[in-house]
Amino acid sequence: MSSVAKGEPAEATWELLHRAAARDGKVSELAQEYEQIAHDKRIKLLAPEQQSFIFRQTAEFFSSVYGDVDLAVGYAERAYGVAPDNESAFALLESLLTGTGRLARLARLYLESAERVADVEQKRVLLGRAFGIAGALDDADDLVIEAGRRILDIVPEEVTVRDAVMQRLIAAGRHADVVDLLEKALAREPSPPAEEARLHREQLIDLCFTVLQSPERALTHVEGLLALEPRHEMARKAAEGMLEHKQLMPRAAAALSDAFQAAGELERAVSMLTFELKHVRGPRRVEVQRRLAILRQDVLGDVSGALELLGPVVAGDPGDDALRRRYVALSLALNQPDQAARLLSRALSTHRDPGVRARVGVDVGNVYVRSGDLKRAHTAFSKVLESGADPEASLEAARRMAELFSDTLEPAELARVLETIVRLEPEREPRQAAARRLARLADGELGDAERAIVGGGAPVGAPGACSF
């Protein structure tokens, strides 16, 4: 032990000692010496690597010379225990465990070693060894589960490993762990293939209902399954069963209405959305109203019902251009321009986004035109032009003012209208017409030679240009 403490391990010298003991019949005496050294309290004063070396030599002696593999394994364990990162200690213990058929301990050795390995591929190899050994043993289900779970952390798409772990968890009655395992498989990146996801969702729905008795957790997978397969009968029946559950009903109804619409069963979607509208609150209510309004108009032809639903949605969010235009068209079709003008004016006054305000302002102006209130229409279009917040809205307002009020506008205001058209109009002919008119106006009533040049002298190819 003193030579080891001095940093002189000299493996060859220890091997010569073993040979001499065997040659001279001193094996028993050397065994006693080894036992005395191994149990000497002073050994703990040595560095871990030095302790490991002594225990390795002791294990080698009892294995290859003395012939007591049980003692050899014990000392190899001690060598590995004090220096688990020592490759020689690991290799010796691995060899002895393999040779003595102590496979459960060998699998555990690989699991322990995998915890300390940084390289992912090396970790996967060690865990694979542990998993393979444990899978061939009786009464090693815990080892299979532990090794398999850790493999899935690295390679989540390993279906064979996951199935083996699931079988053992189910056999052990650990159904909550099965649910966790399947949910983790669903959450992996990249997402599992559709067929695998469908199977996992079906298993999860069954487990959550029948074993865990957790309908809320089941509903998450009902939603996922219906999103994947809108016509899935088991998922639909499960969702329908939860419509009687006060807390889960809104989510179940939403899942069903989404599924019916995705499957093209529009009348059933209308029915479910109508049911949902009676109970839902918050942002989902706005979405339900929006979808139900569109379906009532497009599928059922119920324009009055659609208009009634659209009004509050547009008032709350006038920035949805397509929905707002649908609302305006319905209002005009039902000869309700005054109501539309009031609703849009209130929405315009409360919205902060200048671009949205400009687009709503154009619709307000058009509604006033339809109702015959040209004065208010002029005011609405003028405000849009003044803001300049949205180019398309500004162009539309300028077009409408040039069309409706060109004979009554003051020259300066008409010039601003025409300049907007010249600057923003993408079509060549109307842009050139506005430019020529601006040039005549500037040269005549305005007496503005510079503006006349701007109106008449820009290149042909782009907005703001004209050609004579």
296 and 383 share a domain?
A: yes
For residue 214, being part of any structural domain is answered with no
Residues 6+ apart with CB under 8 A from 14: 57, 60
pLDDT tens-place string over residues 97-133? 999 999 999 999 999 999 999 999 999 999 999 999 9
Whether a cis peptide bond, with omega within 30° of 0, leads into 84 is no
Q: Could you tell me if residue 7 is inside a domain?
A: yes
State the pLDDT at residue 10.
Answer: 61
Which residue from 208, 204, 169 is spatially nearest to 187, judged by alpha carbons?
204
* Length of the chain, in residues: 468
Residue 437 lies in a domain: yes
Using the 3D structure, point to which of 357, 381, 404 is the last residue of a domain. Answer: 404
Going 427 to 429 to 435 to 441, the CA torsion angle's sign is negative
Q: Please report, in tens digits, the pLDDT of each residue of the chain (468 residues total).
A: 455 544 555 667 778 888 888 888 888 888 898 888 888 888 888 899 989 999 999 999 899 888 899 999 999 999 999 999 999 999 999 999 999 999 999 999 999 999 999 999 999 999 999 999 999 999 999 999 999 999 999 999 999 999 999 999 999 999 999 999 999 999 999 899 999 999 999 999 999 999 999 999 999 999 999 999 999 999 999 999 999 999 999 999 999 999 999 999 999 999 999 999 999 888 899 999 999 999 999 999 999 999 999 999 999 999 999 999 999 999 999 999 999 999 999 998 888 999 999 999 999 999 999 999 999 999 999 999 999 999 999 999 999 999 999 889 998 899 999 999 999 999 999 999 999 998 888 877 765 555 555 555 444 444 544 433
Q: What sign for the dihedral angle of Cα 443, 446, 447, 450? A: negative
Q: Let me know whether 287 and 396 are in one domain.
A: yes
Does some domain include residue 422?
Answer: yes
DSSP E strand stretches across 26-75: none
The torsion angles phi and psi of 298, rounded to 5 degrees, stand at -80, -30
In a shared domain, residues 467 and 361: no
User: Is position 155 within any domain?
Assistant: no
Angle of helix 69-82 relative to helix 87-99, nearest 10 degrees, comes to 150
Which pLDDT score is estimated for 418?
94
CATH number at 343 reads 1.25.40.10
Count of domains in the chain?
3
364 and 417 in a single domain? The answer is no
Domain hosting residue 421, numbered range: 406-468
According to the model, what pLDDT value does residue 64 have? 87
DSSP string over 375-386: HHHHHHHHHHHH
What type of residue is 416?
A: R
Q: What is the predicted pLDDT for the residue at 37?
A: 86
Residue 282 identity (one-letter amino acid): G
Answer whether residue 9 is part of any domain. Answer: yes
Residue 92 lies in a domain: yes
Q: Are residues 291 and 393 in the same domain?
A: yes
398 and 285 assigned to the same domain: yes
**Residue 398 sits in the same domain as residue 287:** yes
Same domain, 366 and 288: yes
Q: Domain ends where: 404, 426, 455?
A: 404
Q: Which pLDDT belongs to residue 293?
A: 96
End position of a domain, from candidates 50, 66, 101? 101
Identify whether residues 393 and 285 lie together within a single domain. yes
Q: Based on the domain organization, do 314 and 359 belong to the same domain?
A: yes
Query: Pick from 368, 367, 434: which is nearest to 395 by CA?
Result: 434
Cα separation, 176 vs 212, in Å, equals 7
Instruction: Report the predicted TM-score, pTM, of the whole model to 2 decimal places.
Output: 0.74
Whether residues 414 and 393 fall in one domain:
no
Same domain flag for 322 and 435: no
